[in-house]
Each structure stands twice: as structure tokens, then as C-alpha cells.
Amino acid sequence: MNNVNLIGRLTRDPEVRTTAEDTPVAVLRLAVPRRRSGEDAGAVFVDVVCFARQAEAAEEYLYKGRRVAVEGRLEHREWTDPDGVARSRHEVVATRLEFLDARHRPGSVGAGEADDQDDEA
């Protein structure tokens, strides 16, 4: 079984690119709070990758600080960088994204009371 479920906040705006086959790919950096009784344990930082329509939606609606729920699977990648150094990374490949708070950036046109109520969810 390889299932990952996370809720956290984006540490930066999504990085979006397209593959050679013109498929959009978005990389999200998520800060997931650690929950330990009696102490502030900080956060775990996780890279999340999403494709196609999810990547397009992430580019349109997500931004630094936005709270997101992610469902997906853990993947491991290995590659050699341009300097010939072997690299590897664990990341979550999203099968589902859920945007958990306001749709509009704070202070942007269209941000109103309805969006403020969404923040309480």
C-alpha cells in the first residue's frame, strides 16, 4: 500500500512547466505541521507533483501560504545533475488536490467576505 494524505501550506507559488508531450506539471512545496503533544515541533517540508488539469488548477488558484490537502503516492526519483553528481529525491505524486481556504490572494480584486468565511473551514 502506498498512500499519502497531507494537509499543509504552500511555502512558495507553484512551479509549472510542460513536458515534451505538452503535459503541464506543477511542483508544490508544502509545509506540513508536526503534531507532538506539549511542544512546537515545527514542520516537515514535502515536494508534491501534479499533472495535467491538476497542474493547471494549481497554477491558477494556488499561491504561497494557501492551505491545501493532498492525496497521492510516495515516489523516489534518481538523476544525474549537469555537474555529474548523482541526485535523488522523495516526492508525493498527487492523485487529488483540495484547496482549503480563500480562492483569491489577500487584497486582490474579488476577495471579499465570502472568501473570509472559507478560511474558517
Return the number of other C-beta atoms located less than 10 Å from residue 88's C-beta.
8
Report DSSP state, residue 59.
H
Round to whole Å and give the CA distance between 102 and 115.
5
Whether the model clears a pTM of 0.75, i.e. scores above it, the answer is yes
What cell was used for 52? 495535467
pLDDT in tens, 59-101: 999 999 999 999 999 999 999 999 999 999 999 999 999 999 8
**Three-class secondary structure of residue 1 per DSSP:** coil
Average per-residue pLDDT in the chain?
85
* Cα 18 from Cα 25, distance rounded (Å): 6
Closest CA to 63 of 19, 22, 111: 111
Q: What number does CATH give the domain 1-77?
A: 2.40.50.140
pLDDT top residue among 35 and 16: 16
